[in-house]
Structure 1
Amino acid sequence: MTDRIEPPSAADTPPAPRPPRWWLLLGRDRLAAVAAAVLTLVLLVALSGRLFIGDRAQRQDLRASLRPPSLDHGVHGLLGTDVLGRSVLARLVDAAGTTLSVAVPAVLCSLVIGSALGLWAGYHGGVREGVTMRVADVILSFPSLLIAVVVLYVFAPSAMNIVLILAVTRVPVYLRTARAESAELRSRLFVDAARTFGTPSRKIIYWHVLPIVLPTLLTVATLDFCFVMLTESSLSFLGIGIQPPDVSWGLMVAQGRQYLGTAWWIAVLPGVAIVLTTVSATVLAAWARLATDPAQRWRLTLPRKRRGATAVPTEMMQ
């Protein structure tokens, strides 16, 4: 009589390997880790830097006008002074808070409004989708920078007006992205199953569609943050953005452009801050897109020399 072979029990089955933590993945990518460190530093400076500089960003000293960067006059003279003797280091710290206080709210407002409308229109389709997309097309037909210039020229330039204008002009970016993703997901089997069991549409969108679309939206938001910050800097450079006595990086570049031949640090250093912040956000967005996609996350676990390969690992094909 042959012995019966018992199937393996659940207790004998080895547990599935857990995906690596996001900070471990970030540590394996040196470029993304440096970008994250730069953005973290900028955020910390923007949030708490003003507590340490006091009124140094606005304090004038004509005897210290156009001093070059050095340590001879203390920490505040490390990056030199402008034509009114104000510390460029203190003004960079103060401008970081102003620039992020415009860019971050504008991106968050456009992300929330555009994503909500796009998910709603893409899931329901029909007339609602058509009307929503035509409104987005109308907004996109006008360059966002041109709209901002016209509106800020008619109304008083202020941080609140800049946030509102940039938020409205960037809504179609998230609306179109969310609409495309939601329209593709509404015919998936898990959405049909939830609809069959009588789940309301708003709960299907929130619990089933949004988690899948969210990584793409966050990646778009990170890239859009760069565009919004550059737009704010451009408006301040043109003189219709942030107004004195407030200061932003774009306004610092505008105020220092006439001294490029004699005091380059006034305009170059805030320009470097803008470039470093936007490049770091772009690099981190590319990393986050891979880290949040289960189908692409394995690329981050490979050695850096092999990440350019397009072959799928053998274990993923089984």
Structure 2
Amino acid sequence: MTTTADPATGSAPPEGAAAPPGARPPRWWRLLGRDWAAAVAATVLGAVLLVALLGPLLIGDRAVRQNLDASLRPPSLDHGFFGLLGTDVLGRSVLARLVEGAGTTLSVAVPAVLCSLVVGSALGMWAGFHGGIRESLAMRLADAILSFPSLLIAVVVLYVFAPSVGNLVAILAVARIPVYLRTARAESTELRSRLFVDAARTFGTASWPIIYRHILPIALPTLLTVATLDFCFVMLTESSLSFLGIGIQPPEVSWGLMVAQGRQYLQTAWWIAVLPGVAIMLVTVSATVLAAWVRLATDPAQRWRLTLPRKRRGTRPVTPEVTA
């Protein structure tokens, strides 16, 4: 008698025991707890989100409050909690500005990613499901947007119009639509020939209900993974634009703007530019690690890898031979 490994756990079931037909996969928090790197990444992102939501209520106006007597103080506990990470040239608390900048940076990156995800995915699944001229038009639209560098488009548009959060979100959302359009179109093109889609058509189901009920649930894990990685790109783009002086404008605060304002003090007050740069790096690395974990956790064929020790995740589950 030969027993195969359980794909949900990665280990073979006990001899003589049959796997339950309706067994549920492990809960996502259990899978997350088995991967320390993904757990740390999720903790970092959760902490940043919590700081962005609740931090401005706790710091008040300390992010913009000036005190020239406290100019360029190094990180120290001697000047209270808000002096923990030092002050800038105007005596403003770097810690308070990091908290305020987290909310501003996320208020640009999150809406831009969500808008491009919804619009690009809907258009891509619609084009891939119908094919023909609709698919060709959608792909030519994606090619037209991709033919211009997104950073160059943002520089030109923000130079013509006033730099603001709304303009940044709109530009970055439009520039990232082709990423989701192409991904959703590829998923929809492959799924439209499946038997369950043909069965839905046979019963007279309209196109959008088929896309929403049958194609979207299967394509969603891939789209969410792309969105998690795209979040890093959008946040870095916003930081780059703020660094160039055409993104977030004072008195608003963002991490990219803090790096730009502190670059001329790198030799005398390194903490002004280095600390927001470290914050940007931590968030982008955490989002990348979590995206890899989400891709495995949402794929039933690959989820079993998360139940193995981290050193064995590159190997296939062993199929032991048991003699009756």
SS at 2:168's partner residue? helix
Q: CA deviation at 1:168?
A: 0.3
Give the Cα separation in 2 of the matches to 1:294 and 1:14. Answer: 16
Give the Cα separation in 2 of the matches to 1:313 and 1:156. Answer: 60
Q: State whether structure 2 residue 79 is matched by structure 1 residue 73.
A: yes
2:27 aligns to what? 21
Render the CA deviation track for 1:117-171: whole Å, top value 9, x for unaligned: 0000000000000011001100000010000000001111111000000000000
Alignment partner for residue 47 of structure 2, among 21, 41, 50? Answer: 41
Alignment map for 1:1-318 (pairs within 5 Å) = 14=20, 16-309=22-315, 311-314=316-319
Letter of the 1:314 partner, please give it. Answer: T
Give the Cα separation in 1 of the matches to 2:19 and 2:39. Answer: 36
Letter of the 2:124 partner, please give it. Answer: G
TM-score, scaled to structure 1: 0.94
Give the Cα separation in 2 of the matches to 1:184 and 1:17. Answer: 28
Render the CA deviation track for 1:293-318: whole Å, top value 9, x for unaligned: 00000000111121121x24539xxx
Give the Cα separation in 1 of the matches to 2:277 and 2:193. Answer: 47
Structure 2: which 5+ runs fail to align? 1-17
SS at 1:246's partner residue? coil
Give the Cα separation in 1 of the matches to 2:103 and 2:310. Answer: 35
Give the Cα separation in 1 of the matches to 2:308 and 2:19. Answer: 27
Give the Cα separation in 2 of the matches to 1:159 and 1:56. Answer: 21
Distance 1:60 1:202, change over 3 A: same
SS at 2:185's partner residue? helix
SS at 1:50's partner residue? helix
Q: CA deviation at 1:15?
A: 5.3
Q: CA deviation at 1:225?
A: 0.2
Give the Cα separation in 2 of the matches to 1:238 and 1:13. Answer: 59
Give the Cα separation in 2 of the matches to 1:268 and 1:287. Answer: 29
Count of aligned positions: 303
Give the Cα separation in 2 of the matches to 1:134 and 1:28. Answer: 44
Distance 1:202 1:61, change over 3 A: same
Give the Cα separation in 1 of the matches to 2:230 and 2:90. Answer: 35
TM-score, scaled to structure 2: 0.92
Give the Cα separation in 2 of the matches to 1:57 and 1:170. Answer: 31
Give the Cα separation in 1 of the matches to 2:198 and 2:105. Answer: 45
Distance 1:13 1:298, change over 3 A: closer
Structure 1: which 5+ runs fail to align? 1-11
Letter of the 1:233 partner, please give it. Answer: S
Render the CA deviation track for 1:215-245: whole Å, top value 9, x for unaligned: 0000000000000000000000000000000
Q: Percent identity?
A: 83
Give the Cα separation in 2 of the matches to 1:278 and 1:14. Answer: 40
Give the Cα separation in 2 of the matches to 1:186 and 1:149. Answer: 40
2:15 aligns to what? none
SS at 2:249's partner residue? coil
Give the Cα separation in 1 of the matches to 2:313 and 2:165. Answer: 42
Which has the bigger relative contact order, CA under 8 A and spacing at least 6? 2
Distance 1:223 1:13, change over 3 A: closer
Give the Cα separation in 2 of the matches to 1:14 and 1:54. Answer: 56
